Structure 1
Amino acid sequence: MGAKVSARGLRQALAESVGGLPRQFWWLWTSTLVNRLGAFVATFLALYLTAERGFSASYAGLVGALYGLGGVISSIGAGVLTDRLGRRPTMLAAQVATAASVASLSLVTHPVAIAAVAGLVGMASNASRPAVQAMMADIVAPEDRVRAFSLNYWAINLGFAVSSTSAGLIAQYSYHLLFLGEAAMVLVTAVVVFLKLPESRPETPPARSAHGREAAAVSMATVVRDKRFMAVVALNLLLATLIQQAFVSLPISMGEQGLTSTDFGTVIALNGVLIVALQLPLTRFIEHRDPARLLIVSALLTGYGFGLNAFAGSAAFYAVAVAVWTVGEMINSPTQMGLVVRLSPTQGRGRYQGMYTLSWSVASLGAPLLGGTVIDRFGSDTLWAASALIGTLTAAGYGLLLRSLRDTEPRETQPATAAGPPAETDTTPAA
């Protein structure tokens, strides 16, 4: 009897986690999963340049920074195209360009050529993000968005867990095979988008806001003047700078201690495995809780998790550190994405998502330069100690921001859930 009750409760929990979402969301989810199953280059680029090609940590940091610069350039442009041209065309163009540039990266050998192509890869691979996030906000009802973002994040990490583990093994035989494999998987993603995902952009912006005022046109200047939203972007930049160290500074630090690509692949795969195992039940636990506390806790766990790397001397200890900052990441992602959508007007979702994506792109640009330079000049331990300090400062910033939101918003515009946008202020039709 107990087993039957337990099985029934599990089925109910699963139904509440994945049920009721539109079919278009699941095709978007599938495209995300397929894309992440082949996401090898960003994770192993630093290790490829240092261990396989013999370049210095500073050069690897420079190439990683150019990869991030490409993302910076494309974030804003892709956000504008998402609003003007549409979600689907922006995704398709970005995916085809990503496949072509990643394949080219497997062929070039000159240091200048590698750096230039890496910048193109960063530009192309980042360009689809505002479109994906805007389409998700378009097609999912407001009350289901936190859950939808969590499921999409789960797909990202399911693919990442598989790809990082397998890529670590493949890299021992051929790094070029990694690049060609990613190009092929991105093309498969483009086929899914082309065949299964119709355009979701609203035909015309809403004529009036929820309070009866005329809805103003949204430009990038509008986004920049939105102080509360830009505060979210700035805080995410700090947190993203920490998380990016996992893909640039962490493999370099582990390599300095004689650990192999397989060790790094296994350790970093724990990040995806934990998210796959725990993200959905954790989301059910946090979705109706105070976002200020959640974001503060997430920043502290992320900062101190990376700080633990200063004491690591084995793959097992690095794995413990990964587990700590992964919990912070799991708490932060659905909470913050819900906050981003809540602050974004319907007619400007692409631009707002582009600016939010820009924070990740700037982190991809700055983190490799910061990490590589600090490691070369001061050592890895200094970098990890600074990470704990950044996590503390970010937590303080989240506390001030969320208190400001509570103090300045009218009661009727307060969110119904910890991170979800208030249904009464959203004018997008449910899919």
Structure 2
Amino acid sequence: MKKLYFNYLNTFKGLSNEVWWLSLITLINRAGTMVIPFLSLYLTKSLSFTLNDVGWIMTCFGLGSVLGSWLGGKLTDKIGFYKVMKASLFLTGILFIALQFVNTFWGFCIGIFLVMLVADTFRPAMFVALSTYSKPENKTRSVTLIRLAINLGFSAGPAVGGLIITTLSYKGLFWVDGVTCVLATLLLINVLHPKKAKAVDETKAENPKSVFSDKAFWVFFVGMFIFGFIFLQYFSTMPLYYKDVHHLTELEIGLLMGMNGFFIFLLEMPLISWLEKSKYSKEFLMFSGLLLTGLSFVVINLTGWIGILLVGMLFMTVGEMIAFPFSNAFVMERAKKGNQGEYMAYYSIAFSMSHIFGHNSGMQLIDNIGFDNTWNFMILLSMIGLVFLLMLMRIVKKEKVVID
């Protein structure tokens, strides 16, 4: 047991101080995003919106995310990641606090669009910061550490969020979101100011190539869009499935979703450390992650037994643990020949577009064909995504042959 404990700790060795600080800032920020998993419930229960209304609101969520990711990449390449991160965190905090006072359909569409526009300028900037502060050999593990921070925040967030809803109200979630973003800004200013932080790897191409000329990236982009599309069902339609079909309370939903973050916090770093040492390519590992996520929808359609929800969550969690770090590392590696902000922006946009289409399509499908058929659709879509990732493996293999 002692050996296992020290082996676990060893997987964290060699990461720079700045990466640890960036992870803590992300943890503080994400701990406050407890409103997001409960957004569909808040809109239907507190504001009495229809599923159709919620679908369009989540589309606005995604549109803001796409534009914010694009803008964040542009601004990062022009003024640097630090200024973008600082402004994004602070303004997101203010906007989250203000969003609780919006109660009309069009008002909420505009409000959530603005929140995500500002919030997601942070993502490309954070990825470039992560790449800058990481040693080349540690980049995948650095990404994993950031994800651990995100998921530790998510594991605590929904559980605490469910408790806040039960004891207080949904309004308290917006206050916590806003305040934690402001706190994260203060920490960023104190520990990651350019004059205080030391860059480790500032790789910058002298004659950067446009991301639009990178064929492999766009095949990858489609695969990640599909992965994001089905993965995001766990944060919009799946909570409704838990409540309407299996009759779970908000607190039980929060605990079930919190389990996802807890397992990631406990197991992801050792898993990634082991997979990095294996013979498997990043492309194959992304394929495996999507396969497991697709299988999570297969298992929940097999039986009405409530325990199958835990099995489905476990499949999705392992798939997520594999797909996200290696997809991020894949992009950071390819970004060395172009503008890093641009590459990281379009990587973020793949998931932002998933927000646009995934949430709304999921809501509309549930409304029209029911939960079981919606999960069958997600299974079919995951199979299409797997085809694209197989294509990616072939393209990358050919690139390596040409280089050799």
TM-score by length of 2: 0.93
Q: CA offset at residue 397 of structure 1?
A: 1.8
* Structure 2 counterpart of 1:318: 309
* Structure 2 counterpart of 1:423: none
* Structure 1 counterpart of 2:250: 261
**2:376 aligned with 1:385:** yes
Q: CA offset at residue 273 of structure 1?
A: 1.3
* Structure 1 counterpart of 2:275: 286
Q: CA offset at residue 315 of structure 1?
A: 4.7
Q: CA offset at residue 131 of structure 1?
A: 0.5
Alignment of 1:162-311 (within 5 A): 162-172=156-166, 173-199=168-194, 215-218=206-209, 222-257=210-245, 258-289=247-278, 290-291=280-281, 292-311=283-302
* Cα separation, 2, equivalents of 1:254 and 1:14: 34
Unaligned runs of at least 5 residues, structure 1: 1-5, 210-214, 414-431
Q: CA offset at residue 82 of structure 1?
A: 0.7
Q: Deviations over 1:167-209 (max 9, x none)?
A: 012112310000011100010111111111033798xx978x6
Q: In the alignment, is the contact (CA less than 8 A) between 1:61 and 1:248 conserved in 2?
A: no
Q: 1:361 aligns with which of 352, 358, 370?
A: 352
Q: Deviations over 1:122-165 (max 9, x none)?
A: 11221100001111101111101111111111111011000111
Q: CA offset at residue 242 of structure 1?
A: 0.7
Residues 314 and 122 of structure 1: CA distance in aligned 2, closer, same or farther (over 3 Å): farther
* Cα separation, 1, equivalents of 2:243 and 2:295: 22
Indicate the SS of the match to 1:25. helix
**2:77 aligned with 1:77:** no
* Structure 1 counterpart of 2:87: 93
Alignment of 1:19-34 (within 5 A): 19-34=13-28
Q: CA offset at residue 111 of structure 1?
A: 2.0
Q: CA offset at residue 410 of structure 1?
A: 4.6
Q: In the alignment, is the contact (CA less than 8 A) between 1:259 and 1:315 conserved in 2?
A: no
Indicate the SS of the match to 1:303. helix
Indicate the SS of the match to 2:37. helix
AA partner of residue 284 (structure 1): S
Q: Deviations over 1:314-336 (max 9, x none)?
A: 65322221111111111111211
* Structure 2 counterpart of 1:7: 2
Q: In the alignment, is the contact (CA less than 8 A) between 1:304 and 1:387 conserved in 2?
A: no
Indicate the SS of the match to 1:268. helix
* Cα separation, 2, equivalents of 1:373 and 1:314: 25
AA partner of residue 102 (structure 1): F
Structure 1 stretch displaced more, 19-28 or 290-299 = 290-299
Indicate the SS of the match to 2:113. helix
* Cα separation, 2, equivalents of 1:109 and 1:293: 45
* Cα separation, 2, equivalents of 1:9 and 1:254: 36
The percentage of counterpart residues that share the same residue type is 26
Structure 1 stretch displaced more, 257-266 or 174-183 = 257-266
Q: 2:96 aligns with which of 96, 99, 102?
A: 102
Residues 201 and 22 of structure 1: CA distance in aligned 2, closer, same or farther (over 3 Å): closer
AA partner of residue 152 (structure 1): I
Superposed structure 1 runs of 4+ greater than 6 Å apart:
none
Indicate the SS of the match to 2:14. coil
Indicate the SS of the match to 1:345. helix
Q: In the alignment, is the contact (CA less than 8 A) between 1:271 and 1:322 conserved in 2?
A: yes
Indicate the SS of the match to 1:198. coil
* Cα separation, 2, equivalents of 1:331 and 1:347: 25
* Cα separation, 1, equivalents of 2:301 and 2:43: 24
Q: Deviations over 1:75-100 (max 9, x none)?
A: 11110111111101000111112111
Q: In the alignment, is the contact (CA less than 8 A) between 2:211 and 2:338 conserved in 1?
A: no
Q: In the alignment, is the contact (CA less than 8 A) between 1:102 and 1:180 conserved in 2?
A: yes
Q: Deviations over 1:192-229 (max 9, x none)?
A: 11111033798xx978x6xxxxx3245xxx11221111
The number of aligned residues is 397
* Cα separation, 2, equivalents of 1:294 and 1:115: 37
Indicate the SS of the match to 1:20. coil
* Structure 1 counterpart of 2:105: 111
* Cα separation, 1, equivalents of 2:134 and 2:86: 21
* Structure 2 counterpart of 1:334: 325
Q: In the alignment, is the contact (CA less than 8 A) between 2:97 and 2:174 conserved in 1?
A: yes
Q: In the alignment, is the contact (CA less than 8 A) between 1:35 and 1:189 conserved in 2?
A: yes
Q: CA offset at residue 15 of structure 1?
A: 4.3
Q: CA offset at residue 368 of structure 1?
A: 1.3
AA partner of residue 139 (structure 1): Y
Q: In the alignment, is the contact (CA less than 8 A) between 2:89 and 2:182 conserved in 1?
A: yes
Residues 334 and 25 of structure 1: CA distance in aligned 2, closer, same or farther (over 3 Å): same
Q: CA RMSD in A?
A: 2.1
Q: In the alignment, is the contact (CA less than 8 A) between 2:72 and 2:345 conserved in 1?
A: yes
TM-score by length of 1: 0.87
* Cα separation, 2, equivalents of 1:14 and 1:285: 11
Unaligned runs of at least 5 residues, structure 2: none
